[in-house]
Chain A
């Protein structure tokens, strides 16, 4: 109770300060009175560091706006997720963020929400609805930037290993970049393809990567476009004593990954990532724009950032917070912005 009072006071104070600092920046209706606005986050995936960070981004941006947030978590139950959208409609929320899910199960539910006059944005799920903007971290660019770095470091002809599990939307989009790079550079030979989502993912992929590296000792570059995959390949490279002779390029990042990339002699040379917390913030901001009657555009893309081992070492970065401080584009994405939009405190 005390805490809620305190938060109300704090947000009132920050609103007052904001208003004082820039008189013309009064938020448009209904966000001029954000205490009366409720938004819902309807989740499909929630377990793991990425989703945890995404949620924290949604929470901080919602708090900065002063709106109420309801989190509905279906825990990978597609039918339940659709029901939860109906629940949110029944609750009378003003806006809904759909986070992941299946097109088939979410299309109709999303349409019902739009018909009920609720503003909806979707993150990483295509609900095939023109009234619903897509928030995306560009997985294609994620893969492309990592591979461009691989070519810069290793030249355009090398023997490669690749980790891929088809049927997982972000991995499929990263796969497009891999196919393109192979097409454009005939010198790149894919000697082995592995990949599994058996859990613990890093452990299962380590076993596979080790077998692949033993069978193909010529591999000098491993493209592992997901941090758990990269971790598995790195364990295998360490166990085989090959870390000095090969390089790993990956996507996504976490505090633990930073430590692994910075280990002396680590084969993990670069990763490309979007900060999931920033994606969460952007999702809320896009929804806020719609609530205010503005148009965030049909697709809102959060641009990814290349993070190299050299950069981490040079700047002595230990965790995600350090990374955000040293790499401002990782801390904040300048998309779905407006003059009146309050940002979370840094």
Chain B
């Protein structure tokens, strides 16, 4: 009986907590409950959620990617540079960013598998490199239409309407102009990553690499290729996040992206606890991001200051980690 209760708590505890939180905020904060509010919560987690899905892929192969925040802000600067200064069309800007993300992922992967640099250190180095690199072309200035260039010209390019559409368009659903484009992209990527990791041979091999790379290699898995692929996925998703951020802000903003990194890693780790998975998984990551988003939206509506929000975010993360590591180990202990 006790075991079954524990099992139930591990499997559904986090989802019940999520539902309880929604009920509480709906009662306590006027305007919290409704389709518009839901769409906005989703929008506020879309970018960190997309980054978190990328980091989930690297966690699956037993790695870690600290450079995602910097990749996102590099994509932000690159898209602005491409459109505002080089006056490229939308498609070129987007493709440049995606290529940059894939390239950074490739370099990360090669550093880790070919040069045997530990994953945390390789991606940490890449993070610093990118934070510096993205500022070199503009000497540390943000990029905006009308800015004075170093040769005295005025930048005439603009963020094209099609690019801004990526971050700002809202589809009609139930009510007019409800569902923001970034949310659609977030959900699509979540479904893709979920299908890929959970239901394809490639995904299963990646989990196998994560739990025992040597055993996976012995049965003939090309471990290095899969690891590199995981970092490339992470780089590309991070650059998608950066593109959406640029489209929302409408300018190339100087930012380190450290908060993006921390929030998305938190979402991925909270995801371990969802449905008692005790391992990285796409569904959990999406729920984890949503959990943090709902919490912050509700607290802001109730006028809670920013430091309490950081505190609560931390508390949720610690609780989720306890769920994952302590309760799950007890469950598997009881089972054997």
Interface residues of A (CB under 8 A from B): 46-49, 52, 165, 192-204, 206-208, 210-212, 214-215, 217, 231, 235, 238-239, 241, 254-256, 258-260, 318-321
Whether B301 lies near A256 (C-beta < 8 A) is: no
**Is A193 a contact of B303 with CB atoms below 8 Å?**
yes
- The residues in B between 218 and 256 inclusive whose CB is less than 8 angstroms from any CB of A are 245, 248-251, 253-256
Residues of B within 8 A of A47 (CB): 140, 254, 256
Q: Does B40 contact A48, Cβ atoms closer than 8 Å? A: no
Among B166-193, those with CB < 8 Å from A are 168, 177, 180
Q: How would residues 257 to 269 of chain B score, 1 for a CB under 8 Å from any chain A CB and 0 otherwise? A: 1111000000000
Contacts of B141 in A (CB 8 A): 49, 52
B300 lies within 8 A of A208 (CB): yes
**A207: chain B residues within 8 A (beta carbon):** 44, 296-297, 300
A-B pairs, 6 with minimum CB distance: A256-B144, A211-B300, A215-B301, A200-B255, A319-B146, A207-B44
Nearest opposing residue in chain A for B154, CB measure: A319
Q: Which residue of B lies closest to A318 (CB)?
A: B146
Of B29-37, B57-65, B204-212, the one with at least 4 CB within 8 A of chain A: B29-37
The answer to whether A215 and B32 touch (CB under 8 A), given A198-B259, A200-B73, A208-B300, is yes
Docked Cα-Cα span, A48 to B30, in Å, equals: 37
Q: How far is the CA of A201 from the CA of B248 in the complex (A)?
A: 13
Please tell me if the beta carbons of A165 and B36 are within 8 angstroms of each other in the complex.
no
Q: Does B147 contact A (CB under 8 A)?
A: yes
Decide: A215 near B30, CB < 8 A? Known: A49-B141, A52-B139, A318-B146. Answer: yes
**Further contacts, 4 of them, CB under 8 A, given A202-B249, A210-B44:** A203-B245, A212-B300, A235-B249, A256-B142
Q: Does B306 contact A (CB under 8 A)?
A: yes
Q: Which residue of A lies closest to B47 (CB)?
A: A203
A52–B256 CA distance with the chains assembled, in angstroms = 16
In whole Å, how far is A265's beta carbon from the nearest beta carbon of chain B?
Answer: 15
B142 touches A192 (CB 8 A): no
CB < 8 Å neighbour of A212 from B37, B142, B245, B301: B301
The verdict on A214 contacting B31 (CB below 8 Å), with A47-B140, A165-B306, A235-B249 known, is yes
Beta-carbon contact of B248 and A195 below 8 Å = no
Residues of B with C-beta under 8 A to A46: 140
Closest to A260 in B: B250
Q: How many Å from the CB of A313 to the closest CB on chain B? A: 14
**In the complex the two chains form, what is the Cα distance from A255 to B154 in whole Å?**
11
Closest chain-B Cβ to A266's Cβ sits at a distance in Å of: 12
Residue B335 is within 8 A (CB to CB) of chain A in the complex: no
User: CA–CA, A321 to B260, complex, Å?
Assistant: 33
Q: What is the CA–CA distance of A210 and B170 in the complex, to the nearest angstrom? A: 15
**Are the CB atoms of B139 and A195 closer together than 8 Å?**
no
A residues in contact with B253, CB < 8 Å: 200, 202
| Chain B residues within CB distance 8 Å of chain A | 29-32, 36-37, 40, 43-44, 47, 73, 76, 139-142, 144-148, 154, 168, 177, 180, 245, 248-251, 253-260, 296-298, 300-303, 305-306, 309
Partner of A254 from B30, B31, B144 at Cβ < 8 Å:
B144
* Contact A49:B254 (CB < 8 A) given known A210-B40, A319-B147: yes
Q: Considering the chains assembled together, what is the distance between the CA atoms of A186 and B67 in angstroms? A: 50
- B248-A206 in contact (CB<8A): yes
Query: Are A203 and B248 touching (Cβ within 8 A)?
Result: yes
Nearest CB on A from B266, distance (A): 13
Smallest CB–CB gap between A228 and chain B, Å? Answer: 8
A320–B142 Cα distance when bound, in Å, is 13
Distance of A319 Cα from B84 Cα, bound (Å): 14
Asked if A215 meets B140 with Cβ closer than 8 Å, knowing A199-B255, A319-B147, the reply is no
A199, A212, A318: the one contacting B259 at CB < 8 Å is A199
Q: Please report the C-alpha to C-alpha distance between residue A204 and residue B301 in the assembled complex, in whole angstroms.
A: 14
Bound together, the chains give a CA A326 to CA B129 distance in angstroms of: 40
26 contacts between A and B (CB under 8 A): A49-B254, A194-B303, A195-B306, A196-B309, A199-B255, A199-B259, A200-B245, A200-B255, A200-B259, A202-B253, A203-B245, A204-B259, A207-B44, A208-B306, A211-B300, A214-B31, A215-B302, A217-B31, A239-B180, A256-B144, A256-B146, A256-B147, A256-B251, A259-B144, A259-B146, A319-B146
Q: How distant is B36 from chain A, measured CB to nearest CB, in Å?
A: 7
| Complex CA distance for A193 and B304, rounded to whole angstroms | 8
Q: Which residues of A contact B249 (CB under 8 A)?
A: 200, 202-203, 231, 235
* Cβ contacts under 8 Å, B298 to chain A: 211
Taking the closest CB of chain B, its distance from the CB of A253, in whole angstroms, is: 12
CB of B171, distance to nearest CB on chain A (Å): 14
Within the assembled complex, what's the spacing in Å between the Cα atoms of A48 and B254? 6
A208 CA / B44 CA spacing, docked (Å)? 9
Closest chain-B Cβ to A283's Cβ sits at a distance in Å of 19
Across-interface contacts of A195 in B (CB, < 8 A): 305-306
Q: Write out the residue numbers on chain B whose beta carbons fall within 8 Å of the beta carbon of A255.
A: 144-148
Q: Which residue in chain A gives the minimum CB-CB distance to B302?
A: A215
Chain B residues near A208: list those with CB within 8 A. Answer: 296, 300, 306
**A49-B254, A259-B145 are contacts. A211–B301 as well, Cβ < 8 Å?**
yes
Residue contact A318 to B303, C-beta cutoff 8 Å:
no
CB distance A199 to B145 under 8 Å?
no
Nearest Cβ distance between residue A208 and chain B, in whole angstroms?
5
B301 contacts A254, C-beta separation under 8 Å: no
Contact B40 A214 (CB under 8 A): yes
Compute how far the CA of A201 lies from the CA of B139 in the bound complex, rounded to whole angstroms: 20
| CA–CA, A207 and B32, complex, Å | 14
CB <8 Å contact, A193 and B305 = yes
Of chain B, the residue at the smallest CB distance from A235 is: B248
Contact call A321/B305, Cβ cutoff below 8 A: no
Residue of B nearest to A213 (CB): B31
In the complex, the answer to whether A320 meets B31 with C-beta atoms within 8 Å is no
A residues near B30, Cβ cutoff 8 Å? 215
CB distance from A44 to the nearest CB of B (A): 16
Q: How far is the CA of A211 from the CA of B29 in the complex (A)?
A: 10
On whether the beta carbons of B31 and A196 are closer than 8 Å, the reply is no
